[in-house]
Amino acid sequence: MQFAPWKIEWAKFTDEAIAEMKLHSDDTHTEKEWMTYIYEEDFGIMVANGDMPLLYRDKSGKQVTFKHKEEALQYMNKYNISGQISPVYNLGSVSYGDESRIEVNPATKEMQDAALKQVDPKNRKWTIHGHPLKDGKIYTGRQYFSSTDILQEFLKARDTDQRVVQFIVYPHQQTDTNTGKTAIHNRCRILIFPDAATVSAAMKSANPNVDVKGISVDNGFNSNAADGSLKNEAGVDWFAFQEALGKSGNMGIIDIEGKKSGSKKAESKLNIFGSEGMRSSSNLVNNFMGVALVGSLVYFLLFSDEGPLDLMVEDMNAECEEHWWHR
């Protein structure tokens, strides 16, 4: 299967994990950041599904996962399934902060995850966090990773050739394709730092005048300049860097509400896909989680008889503050 790396990363999430993302992000109007660890546990069979891969489902539409790789291989051979065996992603327990800051104790959180979600701490892989509304608005700059989110990950990939994957969920105002009304959808941005060569090339492409090897924790973090814009001493445009990674398939955006909720399959300029391939997600959320797909804020915007609301603010300078994993 030949898919962009970000698509494969997204396809590893179980239906339960996506349902939990929705649940946490539907409270975006409370203006609290949330985060969980991502655990690489169990195995699934990755199969092609048009322009997106997905974990194999049985005839009932249920996602099929296995505790052991050998079990997945036996199942694939038994039913003559064309695909690849892949680890799957599950989420740990959620932690909340304020609108731009969140702190946890990693060791304590791993213990909580083991107790509450029955995951093994040694299988902790990545982190996913959500940016909520700020002052009741959606700032475009908060739909990207901030410099505090990605500077150290860039340095790790550049200096050690280690692969790093990050996920951020955020609200986005758009037109519901089913009703034509204004709606708020949850989107997830996936960002991959694949290796030293790729991140260095992306940085040079996005910031041709920057000394790529000279970027450090001392000069790479953004701060507000006198004119209110975000700047750093290294001269890096971190938003442009993320877009440059997207050109190599290492950044993409998924609308996690899916086609049934009026998401767009794709938009120009950005790699945005609806998760319509995950056709049992809505039933899963309603039956397994016991909640609706849309939270109270989304529900209001979709079904209110009042005029359309405009929560979008074109402001790339509303960067979030420091997170616990950069302390």
pLDDT tens track for 95-104: 988 756 778 8
What average pLDDT does range 111-124 have in this prediction? 95
What average pLDDT does range 216-244 have in this prediction? 89
Residue 68 and residue 72: Cα distance in Å, rounded?
7
Percent of the chain with pLDDT over 90: 50
Residue 188 and residue 9: Cα distance in Å, rounded?
12
Could you tell me the pLDDT band of residue 291, with boundaries at 50, 70 and 90? very low
Q: Is the pLDDT of residue 191 over 60?
A: yes
Could you tell me if 45 and 72 are in contact, meaning their C-beta atoms sit under 8 angstroms apart? Answer: yes
Could you tell me if 90 and 38 are in contact, meaning their C-beta atoms sit under 8 angstroms apart? Answer: yes
| Nearest residue to 275 via CA among 285, 261, 288, 287 | 261
pLDDT tens profile 39-58: 999 999 999 988 899 999 99
Q: Is the pLDDT of residue 192 over 50?
A: yes
Could you tell me the pLDDT band of residue 309, with boundaries at 50, 70 and 90? very low
The residue type of 2 is Q
Number of structural domains (the chain) is 1
Q: What pLDDT is stored for residue 246 in this prediction? A: 93
What average pLDDT does range 176-180 have in this prediction? 75
Q: Which residues span the domain enclosing 211? A: 5-326
Which residue did the predictor score with more confidence, 214 or 222? 214
Cα–Cα separations (whole angstroms), residue 150 to 13, 167, 193: 22, 11, 9
Bin 127: left if φ > 0, else alpha if -120 < ψ < 50, else beta. Answer: beta
Percent of the chain with pLDDT over 70: 72
- pLDDT averaged over every residue in the chain: 78
Q: Is the pLDDT of residue 245 over 90?
A: yes
Which residue did the predictor score with more confidence, 199 or 259? 199
Residue 282 and residue 18: Cα distance in Å, rounded?
10
Top-ranked range on mean pLDDT: pick from 14-28, 81-95, 119-133: 81-95
Q: What pLDDT is stored for residue 31 in this prediction? A: 59
Residue 175 and residue 186: Cα distance in Å, rounded?
13
Cα–Cα separations (whole angstroms), residue 298 to 5, 28, 174, 190, 253: 30, 9, 11, 22, 19
Weakest-pLDDT range from 19-33, 126-140, 219-233: 126-140
Which residue did the predictor score with more confidence, 238 or 100? 238
* DSSP codes joined into one string, 243-310: HHHHHTTSEEEEETT-GGGT--S--SSS-EEE-TT-TTHHHHIIIII-S-SS-HHHHHHHH-SSPPP-
Q: What pLDDT is stored for residue 136 in this prediction? A: 58
Q: What pLDDT is stored for residue 266 in this prediction? A: 32
Q: What pLDDT is stored for residue 118 in this prediction? A: 95
Weakest-pLDDT range from 30-34, 59-63, 295-299, 323-327: 295-299
Q: What pLDDT is stored for residue 22 in this prediction? A: 87
What average pLDDT does range 312-324 have in this prediction? 43
Residue 50 and residue 59: Cα distance in Å, rounded?
18
Residue 36 and residue 127: Cα distance in Å, rounded?
6
C-alpha atoms less than 13 angstroms from C-alpha of 298 in its C-beta half-sphere: 26
C-alpha atoms less than 13 angstroms from C-alpha of 156 in its C-beta half-sphere: 13
Q: What pLDDT is stored for residue 290 in this prediction? A: 27
Q: Is the pLDDT of residue 156 over 90?
A: yes
Q: What pLDDT is stored for residue 99 in this prediction? A: 59
Q: Is the pLDDT of residue 300 over 80?
A: no
What average pLDDT does range 310-316 have in this prediction? 42
Containing 59, the helix (H) or strand (E) segment is none
Q: Is the pLDDT of residue 27 over 90?
A: no
Q: Is the pLDDT of residue 278 over 50?
A: no
